[in-house]
Structure 1
Amino acid sequence: MTTEENAAPARLLTGGVANAGAVFRRGEAVERPAPPNAEALHAHLLALRRRGFDGAPTPLGRSADGDRERLSYVPGDVALPPFPGWAMTDEALRSVGVLLRRMHDAATEFPADADWSRDFADPAGGSVLCHNDVCPENVVFRDGRAVALIDFDAAAPGRPVWDVALTARYWVPMIDPVSAAASYPEGLDAPRRLAVLADAYGLSAPDRAVLPAVVSEAVAVCRAFVERRVADGDPAFGKVLAERGGWGWWDRVQGWLVERRADFEEALARPGVVE
């Protein structure tokens, strides 16, 4: 770090749960807690850029004790809950799908034996290093279009359709209307928006056919992650669970996904016709 950068005031960046209150911008760099596999992640981020994907931060180093990392600051807009209307337009959704596909196309070479996160990892494994946490807080927009992904801490090998399913959870969103009301605008048509995302990504016909089932599988993995965090006494996740009204929130979401499965499958069976 240069003397000028060190002298720059630190500004807290808001958003997220796990690292809330611990991420700061200093000049053109972001300082945040380093994940255990920071070395492998930094190598991956550099490899993405070499392969033509410019929609991710550039690693700038770590603190002397290795506890914190520095990444280039990506300018733009990030949607925080309650999510604004501009972030939930079809245009924004399509741009997220296009960005995710670009990232996947550049993420097919990685050390499979690295210590990748297991938090949201695809149980089936796969040939792409998935981001696994493409929530609105981790997507940078400019002029209403998604241009970059941040926070790759949960990255792990998986199938592309797994990452699309996890992304759909947040961006469609794949949650029941009662649960969605706290953070999302009213009137979002989930089956139609799921098809919009699949179309923009260019999801294959076989993957479109299984996407609703993979979403349900991904939701179960996410619930298990929260259960582990709450059982370990993590106050941040305990607070979020309490604000949602307890485990009934997850029960309602999972039940709704089963009830609407046929609607999702029907929408996905018509690729390219959703406007």
Structure 2
Amino acid sequence: MAAESDETAGQALVGGMTNAGAVFRHGDLVERPAPSTARALHAHLRALEEQGFDAAPTPVRLTDDGREQLTFIAGDVALPPFPRWVMTESALRSVGSLLRRLHGASRSIEVDTRVEWPRDLADPEGGTMLCHNDVCPDNVVFRDGRAAALIDFDQAAPGRPLWDVAMTARYWVPMVDPVSAAVSYPEGLDAATRLRILADSYGLATEERAELPGVIEQATASCRAFVADRVADGDPVFTQALSDRGGWRRWDRMQGWLVAHREMFTAALLD
């Protein structure tokens, strides 16, 4: 999230959709609505630190009015329409490397199975590792053109590492049709090349590369269902965004584009 203005409540941070207008910076702290999984999530973030992963906020406390405080991570966060600097190949490589670091630390942390983790963007097949599930540009802090930290773990849930890679690819390649990409991304991004760059920088194994295009299609379907649920609940932010971005026709077009180019993406990953 990026700073917008100074208020008596703190400095408003803009970006994202779920907590729009409800996140504030107070000096070295960020205060925001606490997710239902906050206690377990805070324990996970502390465990990441113990594993040597220093690229996520540190939990400070939960407040009596249902909010959480975490350390503020300084740097640059890109908001749509995304500037060209955040979509360079070197920036993409740094995102893949950062995600691999996160997974390397997360694999050693036992997931609390008693917690009702959010299912909105979670891997439908489940898993034994806590995935971030929302590594979009709005949730990556950059310094000097490189991904330095991940923020907003609200959608974290158990899943396969490959699911997290697929979700990340959706936003960073991006794995959307050219008409949809033109709304938020710079011109000239070659999806097949960038998907290979992400897989290489993450260090994706051969068998996972073969699966990735199909998992991206599955992740896109989950994202569509997530939006549909928000719209059905009358969420004004998601309803307006859906209207502004072309409605359900856009989602049909994206899914059709992915299916039509599945073989091209598989070849780019494996050749």
Instruction: Measure, in 1, the Cα distance between the counterparts of 2:220 and 2:255.
Output: 7
Instruction: Measure, in 2, the Cα distance between the counterparts of 1:161 and 1:41.
Output: 21
Per-residue CA deviations over 1:23-47 (Å, capped at 9, x if unaligned) read: 0101100010000110000000000
- Within the alignment, does 1:57 sit opposite 2:53 as a pair? no
- Within the alignment, does 1:175 sit opposite 2:153 as a pair? no
For residues 106-125 of structure 1, what are the structure 2 equivalents within 5 Å? Answer: 106-108=105-107, 109=109, 110-125=111-126
Instruction: Measure, in 2, the Cα distance between the counterparts of 1:73 and 1:220.
Output: 33
Instruction: Measure, in 1, the Cα distance between the counterparts of 2:268 and 2:221.
Output: 23
2:89 aligns with 90
Change in 2 beyond 3 A, CA 1:151/1:46: same
Alpha-carbon shift at residue 11 of structure 1 (Å)? 0.6
- Within the alignment, does 1:149 sit opposite 2:118 as a pair? no
Alpha-carbon shift at residue 62 of structure 1 (Å)? 1.3
2:138 aligns with 137
For residues 152-231 of structure 1, what are the structure 2 equivalents within 5 Å? Answer: 152-231=153-232
Instruction: Measure, in 2, the Cα distance between the counterparts of 1:37 and 1:216.
Output: 27
Q: Which amino acid is 2:80 matched to?
A: P
For residues 244-263 of structure 1, what are the structure 2 equivalents within 5 Å? Answer: 244-263=245-264
Unmatched 5+ residue regions in structure 1? 1-6, 271-275
Q: Which amino acid is 2:91 matched to?
A: A
Does the 8 Å CA contact 1:129/1:158 hold for their aligned counterparts?
yes
2:127 aligns with 126
Does the 8 Å CA contact 1:9/1:27 hold for their aligned counterparts?
no
Instruction: Measure, in 1, the Cα distance between the counterparts of 2:217 and 2:123.
Output: 12
2:267 aligns with 266
2:79 aligns with 80
Instruction: Measure, in 1, the Cα distance between the counterparts of 2:191 and 2:153.
Output: 26
1:31 aligns with 31
Report % sequence identity. 64
Structure 1 counterpart SS, 2:56: coil
Alpha-carbon shift at residue 64 of structure 1 (Å)? 1.5
Does the 8 Å CA contact 2:53/2:101 hold for their aligned counterparts?
yes
Does the 8 Å CA contact 1:8/1:26 hold for their aligned counterparts?
no
Instruction: Measure, in 2, the Cα distance between the counterparts of 1:168 and 1:102.
Output: 16
Q: Which amino acid is 1:84 matched to?
A: P
1:4 aligns with none
Alpha-carbon shift at residue 127 of structure 1 (Å)? 2.4
Does the 8 Å CA contact 2:9/2:24 hold for their aligned counterparts?
no
Does the 8 Å CA contact 2:133/2:157 hold for their aligned counterparts?
yes
Per-residue CA deviations over 1:162-203 (Å, capped at 9, x if unaligned) read: 000000000000000100101100010001100000000000
Change in 2 beyond 3 A, CA 1:8/1:57: farther
Q: Which amino acid is 2:27 matched to?
A: G
Q: Which amino acid is 1:23 matched to?
A: V
2:242 aligns with 241
- Within the alignment, does 1:103 sit opposite 2:102 as a pair? yes
Does the 8 Å CA contact 1:56/1:149 hold for their aligned counterparts?
yes
Structure 2 counterpart SS, 1:147: strand
Query: Which portions of structure 1, spanning 4 or more consecutive aligned residues, are displaced by more than 6 angstroms?
Result: none
Alpha-carbon shift at residue 160 of structure 1 (Å)? 0.7
1:3 aligns with none
Give the aligned length. 263
Structure 1 counterpart SS, 2:15: coil
